[in-house]
Amino acid sequence: MGAYKEIRDTFIREYKEKPVEYKNRIVKWRSEPPIERIDKPTNIPRARKLGYKAKEGIIMARVKVKGGGKKRATVGGGRKPSKSGRYFTRAKSLQSIAEERASKKFSNCEVLNSYFVGKAGSDSFYEIIMLERDNAAIQNDLTYSNVIGKKGRAFRALTKSGRKHRGLMA
């Protein structure tokens, strides 16, 4: 078995053996700020599969997003009550919303990809892989240089989750 398969299997095995520790970690994240920069990914095999490398210019962030339907205020003035629905499903996925929020907070970075980390109550947590636009190591890397050339990838739905909610991926 290859090294990364072994690391992936170790992560999955630890998760199954110690679910209480993972649950406590997610509960602790609820009290932290909604967008927080982190040193390294929680799930290293998943991050590497999506393009993460432990090198200068690559930033990781954890984003908390509230789940549930979008709530809209009721309108007054002679309308049929059954037509004044208050809850609407979102057109975007929570993952795309998390990517946009991270992109807005870290304005000097471009979103490469993201993945789901966990859920506690109505809060969902995603880890976002971002690239610094001005970093020389990123600009000289052929795999990342074309990504930083496109500004606003998260807002134009060019990331994996964005393409998915636009109907371009299965």
b/e map 119-154, b = 16+ CB within 10 Å: ebeebbbbbbbbbbbebeebeebeebeebbeeeebb
pTM recorded for the entire structure? 0.85
- The answer to whether residue 14 scores a pLDDT higher than 80 is no
Mean pLDDT, residues 120-138: 93
- Looking at residue 67, its pLDDT comes to 85
- Looking at residue 24, its pLDDT comes to 86
Domain extents in the chain? 3-64+91-165
CATH homologous superfamily for the domain 3-64+91-165: Ribosomal protein L15 (3.40.1120.10)
Mean pLDDT, residues 80-86: 71
- Looking at residue 170, its pLDDT comes to 55
- The answer to whether residue 124 scores a pLDDT higher than 90 is yes
- Looking at residue 19, its pLDDT comes to 78
Whether 47 contacts 117, CB under 8 Å: no
Whether 142 contacts 151, CB under 8 Å: no
Q: Look at 4 and 66; give whichever has higher pLDDT.
A: 66
- Looking at residue 10, its pLDDT comes to 74
As a whole number of angstroms, the distance between CA 126 and CA 92 comes to 15
- The answer to whether residue 105 scores a pLDDT higher than 60 is yes
Q: Residue 91's pLDDT band (boundaries 50, 70, 90)?
A: confident
Q: Residue 166's pLDDT band (boundaries 50, 70, 90)?
A: confident
Mean pLDDT, residues 10-27: 78
- The answer to whether residue 79 scores a pLDDT higher than 70 is yes
- Looking at residue 63, its pLDDT comes to 97
